[in-house]
Structures are given as C-alpha cells and as structure tokens.
Chain A
C-alpha cells in the first residue's frame, strides 16, 4: 500500500530531474563551445540602441537594465490603458446586450460576434497597417477639437505643464484618505442611527474641492503646451510641444480594447442574467427605487459572477499586449527579448527574465483580483 503511494511520486521526481539535468548539461556544453558564460552581468553593460517611445529618460548610453525597465513600463502602460478602456466599453456593451430596445441589442451582439471571432493579431495589423496608414500627413492634418492633430505619425495632444506638481499630488492623496474615512463614518452612522448622507456627492465634492484649493493657496499652476507644426526638411514636417502618442500605441490599444471588451461584455451579460428575477421583484416590493435595486441588490450579486472570468480577461489582455512586437511598439518582448537578445546573444537569461516578468505580472493581477473577489464575496455567519 505504501509502495503504491511512493512509487509514482519517485518516478515523477526522477522524470523531472532527468529532463532538467539533460537540458542543463546540454546548455552548459553548448555555452562552453560558444564561449558564453551564464550570468546576469550583461545587464549593466551599455545598451547602445535607441528606443522610439519611452516613459522614462533613456538613450543608447544607458544600460540593458534600463532598457528592460523602459520595455516593462511600456508594457504596463498599454495594459493599464487597455484594462480601463475595455472595462468601460465591455460594461456598456454588456448592458446594451440586455436592452429591450431591439436596435441597441442587435448592434451590441453584432459588435460582439464580429470582434471576438477575428484573431487579435490580424486586428492589430489592420489598425496599424491599413486603417492608421490612411491618416493625413502632419502638414495636412485638420485640427481636432481645437487642440489636437491626428496624423499618420500619431496623435498630438496638448501636454499639461505643472508648477509644484508634488503639492498637488499630496493633496490629492490626502483628499482620498479623507473620503475613505468619511465613507466609514457615514456607514457607521447609517448602521447606528439610520441617517443617510449623500455619500457619493460629498465624496466627489471633496475630491474636486480639496485639490482645487492648492491652486489658490499652494502655488500650484497648470498651463498647457500645445503642439505646433515644425518643418524638418523641405517635405518633412512634425509637431513640437504637447504629447505625441505614437500610432503603434494607438493601434495596439484600439485592438486590445475592442477585442477584450467583447469577452467582458459577455461576462457582464451572464452576470446580470444570472441574478434571479425574484431578487428584482422582491427588492421592488419593499419599496426600493430602480437605482437602489440596481446598486444595492443586483450589482453586488452580479459582481460575484462577473469578477472571476473578468480577471482572466485582464490577464489575457496583459499577455496579449506582447503582440506589440509585431508592429514594433517597444514593449518588453520587442525591446528585451528582441533587440537586446540579438545584441547580447544571451538567449537563456533573457527569455527567462522575460517569462519571469510576465509570470510576476500575471500572479500580481490574479492575487489582487482574488483579494477583491474575497472582499465582495458572501460573508456567511
């Protein structure tokens, strides 16, 4: 009986050890013959390649570690923008899918069936190589909303120029802390004495008013720098000032958002449909208004159904952002597993670091969402 339990485990261990041993031995041998030494010392060397788009200060004289950081930040940037946008769009489409209005309902389902059945890579290619290439050159671009220019070289929008930005940021954080304690206090009051404050309005008020005060007292100052057309050569123009958002980022965000939103929409629909009709009727019969029914009865229950599959979609979006490499958006894969690997030839270290980074991102997202899911789960007494 004991042997029956131990033998399979020993065999599994042996199998794993043998495979790993075989691989490490070969790798060792291969690296010896090629004169490469395993190690992460190369991260400190000068990278000597340029990156088109970077959130932090970077140029060719910086180290590979710095290039890695640039790539990582670019990946995180596109993932965060994508997650925010696809959540908003997904919720709207998911609710529209349940609308009694025939036209809205049909439009939403056509949207879902259309975008979820085309490979994401093809959609990225379409936006980048076909749709965004049809935009005008910088010198012919029309003014959008009086401030921005949408050109073949990207979107140029005004950039905020702050004075004493840190003061503003600190007050913003303070206002969030005040809101947190106010909400706690309001909840306590409601449970003790049944007094209801207009929580949402007061929170918004604090959030806007407190940071706004710093403009008067804190010496905070905000001006905008507008993009201006500048001639580089006889037929080559570009914009100066403002923020230039590269077309790669636009194409990638568009494709990721439109694609992932279809899945989130289906999750939202399933979540809302999963709540029994009786719940709505019971809530209405004790005199709650439509908004209250939605806020206090339907959403808390629907969220429990919606969140686990939506977590998966967030993870997918983050992993899919690696398709950026296909259109040369300088994300982690392109910068590090692409350019840096070509230059250093350190395949094992670099692929290992890249994979470990994605694993860490995936694990942190799923840990956070698990924590959030637990905090809204049914608390059984």
Chain B
C-alpha cells in the first residue's frame, strides 16, 4: 500500500477512496433529504450559513474522491467522464441530483399518489394531490366546447374523414403522382370546407344547425389552425413571388404587406378583425366571427409563410432559372414547372414549423370571444361548482399541447433531415 494523498486520489488505494467517496456522497444526499423532508438538520452544530451548504460540500468531496483516472472499473470511468470531470462539473452535477431529489417526489405525489380520479363531484377530491375528477367531468367541454353532447360524433367524423383523405396521398399510384400537388392544394381544402360546412355546422340533410359560437375546445384549435394553413399557403406563395419580382410596384407592395403583418402582434390583428373590420364593410353586412378570425390569421400567417417560401426560392441555384429561360419558358411556366416544385419541396420543414407556430398562436382567439382549449379552461375555472382547480386545468392543457407540439416539431425535424440528404 502506497502513501495516501487525500488531495490526489490514485489507483493504488482505490478501495479506500471509493469507500470514502461513496460515504461522503451518501452523507450529502442524506443530509439534504433529512433537511427537506423531515426537518432534521444533522449539521446544525455548524454556523447557519455553512450548514446550509453542507450537502453540496459533502457531495463534492465524495465526487472528488472517486475521480480516479483509468481506475479499471468500467462504470466508474464512464461516470467520471460524463458527470465528474472537474470540481466545477462535480458541483453542478451534484446540484442537479439534489434538485431532482427535491422536486420529483412531491411532483409524483401530486400527479399520482395523492390524486383522485374516482367520482363525479368536487367532493370526491379528498387527497392533497391533483383532482383529475375535474378533468374527467369537463373533458367533453375541453374537447368540443359548447357543441351539444349528442352531436359530437359529427366533429369526430369530420376529423377522421379529413385524416383519411390526407393519408390517401400516400397511396396514389405512380401515374397519378403528378396530380398530388393539385390534390393537396385544391381538392383537400374544398373537401374539408364542405365537410365542416355541412357536417360540423349542419343545418341541412336533417342535421341540427350548430352556430359557430358553440364550437370550441381542442377541436376548434384544429379547425382554425388547419384552415388558416390551407389558405395562407397560396397567398404566401404569391407574396413570395411578388417580393422577388423585377417589377417595382409589385415588389414594393408585397414587401410593405409582408413587413406590415410581421411587425404587429397577432392580438392587435384579432382586435382589428373584431372591431375595425365591420366598419370597413357595407352597412348591414354580417360576417361570421369565426370567418373573420380565420381571415385575420390567414393574412398574418401568409406574411410569415411568404418569408419561408422566399427562403426556398433563394436556395435554388441560378442555373435553374437560366436553363428554363433558355428553353423559352415564360414567367409563369418557368415558376410553375421548374422553380416552385423544387422550392416548395425545400420549404416543407419550414411550413411545418409555421403550422406549429400557428397551433401555438390559436389560444389567442379568446380575445374575440371564441373559446378553444385555453378559453374553455378560463370558463371552467369560474364555474361556482368547480372553483379552485385552475392548476389541474392548466397542467392538463399544457400536457395536451405539449404532446401535439412536440410530436410535430420532431416530425418537422425528421423531414428536415430527410430533405437535406436528398440534395
């Protein structure tokens, strides 16, 4: 056994250092645990300020002792390399471990162990944790707004049919592939519009008419986001082409339009659609609130879409334009047959990101009185029978939105990777 230098842990005394390190580490965690969950301070004999930091100091000493290079133990080497390269790193790692110990048990208790899910009334919630009964009772309202319960199958049916039509594009036989863009840009929007008009709104074919004011919840979020996307795409495309045009009037009017909408917040645009827009129409014209909102969002998002598409147009090499021109193609043939098909393929990930931003923006429509998910939560938490459950509501909505947005962002990231390798 060689000389022991406590400042420089070495391989010769590995058992001693490992023993010391692990015990200090455990001591640090124990100190922290007792302090936070049992109100016992085992280092209370030290002055207050130092006693506050003892868990961290113990942990750092522990990690210092186990920091042995080439110890021959695979797990230890891996640990040192990943979380324990220097004293500073050890302190950070240990703080994160303490933070996890501090936050995870109370969170788990609130979410699962102390939570209530059985029952139908507020009185069923007796534990100190979350009251999922509230979510259970209000679930239909959160999904469909004030849409009558008996008619909700219509909303579901519409969404399922639209999804089936969207998926159909994948199974197109090869010789119809050239109509794919046409299918997605014209046929699908028309189909979805008809479905929403006849099936969700109703009023014909013996279906009860449901006014747009009653639509709401998560389904409204999707309706607004989907429609805005469909319409802002062609407008954005025209604006992008206009911005790159050689004609000064076209160029500067597109530029002004884009910069104007990009410079103002969406909430003022929605205000505009609610209070200013009716002033601009002939007296007595009534445009449905939902349509006004969608029109406002379309104008707003078209400006962003235009910038995304412009990025795709700029990424194409000049040779594409020159080659098409040398074949004698005019402006429209050049763009429709050569430039746009390539540029649009490049910007699919960007469009997916725009759609993601759109979904995250839709809760804003509460300012004009349309209640999608976040708006419904605001309504539910003021219901006198269910006061005091705003936390559960927001956590629930947060989880739903997080799942949607996270999967969409992962999808667009994968698309990005896919199209990168293509070129």
Chain A contacts to B: CB under 8 angstroms: 5, 8-9, 12-13, 16, 22-23, 26-27, 29-31, 33, 99-104, 107, 113-114, 116-123, 125-126, 129-131, 133-134, 319-320, 322-323, 325-326, 333, 337, 341, 347-348, 351, 354-355, 358-359, 362-363
CA–CA, A359 to B360, complex, Å? 22
Min Cβ gap A17→B in Å is: 11
In the bound complex, residues from chain B placing their C-beta under 8 Å from that of A126 are: 394-395, 398
A130 touches B391 (CB 8 A): yes
Contact of A351 among B247, B253, B271, B364 (CB under 8 A): B271
B264 within 8 A of A: yes
Beta-carbon contacts under 8 Å, B67-95 to A = 82-83, 85, 89, 92-93
B390 touches A129 (CB 8 A): yes
Tally inter-chain residue pairs, CB-CB below 8 A. 149
In the bound complex, residues from chain A placing their C-beta under 8 Å from that of B397 are: 122
Give the interface residue-count category, chain B.
Answer: 35 or more
A26 touches B263 (CB 8 A): no
**Known interface pairs A117-B402, A326-B366, A333-B271; 17 further A-B residue pairs with C-beta atoms within 8 A, sorted by A's residue number:** A103-B82, A103-B96, A104-B93, A118-B405, A119-B359, A121-B363, A122-B398, A122-B401, A129-B390, A129-B394, A133-B390, A319-B266, A341-B275, A347-B279, A354-B268, A355-B264, A363-B263
A351 touches B96 (CB 8 A): no
B281 touches A358 (CB 8 A): no
B97 nearest CB neighbor, chain A only: A103
A32 nearest CB neighbor, chain B only: B283
Main secondary structure of the interface of B (DSSP, over half): helix
In the bound complex, residues from chain A placing their C-beta under 8 Å from that of B247 are: 5, 8-9, 12
B390 touches A119 (CB 8 A): no
B169 within 8 A of A: no
A347 touches B275 (CB 8 A): yes
Min Cβ gap A50→B in Å is: 22
CA–CA, A325 to B378, complex, Å? 14
A9 touches B279 (CB 8 A): no
B272 touches A355 (CB 8 A): yes
CA–CA, A320 to B283, complex, Å? 34
CA–CA, A33 to B391, complex, Å? 48
A121 touches B364 (CB 8 A): yes
B99 nearest CB neighbor, chain A only: A107
Min Cβ gap B135→A in Å is: 14
CA–CA, A233 to B249, complex, Å? 67
Min Cβ gap A221→B in Å is: 31
B377 within 8 A of A: yes
CA–CA, A102 to B266, complex, Å? 39
Chain B contacts to A: CB under 8 angstroms: 82-83, 85, 89, 92-93, 96-97, 246-250, 253, 260, 262-268, 271-272, 275-276, 278-283, 359-364, 366-367, 374, 377-378, 381, 390-391, 394-395, 397-398, 401-402, 405-406, 409
In the bound complex, residues from chain A placing their C-beta under 8 Å from that of B263 are: 358-359, 362-363
A117 touches B405 (CB 8 A): yes
In the bound complex, residues from chain A placing their C-beta under 8 Å from that of B268 are: 322, 333, 337, 351, 354-355, 358
Min Cβ gap B258→A in Å is: 13
Min Cβ gap A349→B in Å is: 10
In the bound complex, residues from chain B placing their C-beta under 8 Å from that of A116 are: 409
B83 touches A101 (CB 8 A): yes
What are 17 of the A-B contact pairs (CB < 8 Å)? A26-B282, A27-B280, A29-B282, A31-B279, A103-B93, A103-B96, A113-B406, A117-B405, A117-B406, A120-B360, A130-B391, A130-B395, A348-B279, A354-B271, A355-B268, A358-B263, A359-B263
In the bound complex, residues from chain A placing their C-beta under 8 Å from that of B89 are: 99, 101, 104
B272 touches A333 (CB 8 A): no
In the bound complex, residues from chain A placing their C-beta under 8 Å from that of B377 are: 125
Contact of B363 among A99, A119, A134, A341 (CB under 8 A): A119
Top 9 nearest A-B pairs by Cβ distance? A117-B405, A9-B249, A319-B265, A102-B82, A322-B265, A362-B263, A130-B391, A23-B280, A359-B263
CA–CA, A100 to B280, complex, Å? 59
Min Cβ gap B21→A in Å is: 17
Min Cβ gap B400→A in Å is: 10
B363 touches A320 (CB 8 A): no
A358 touches B283 (CB 8 A): no
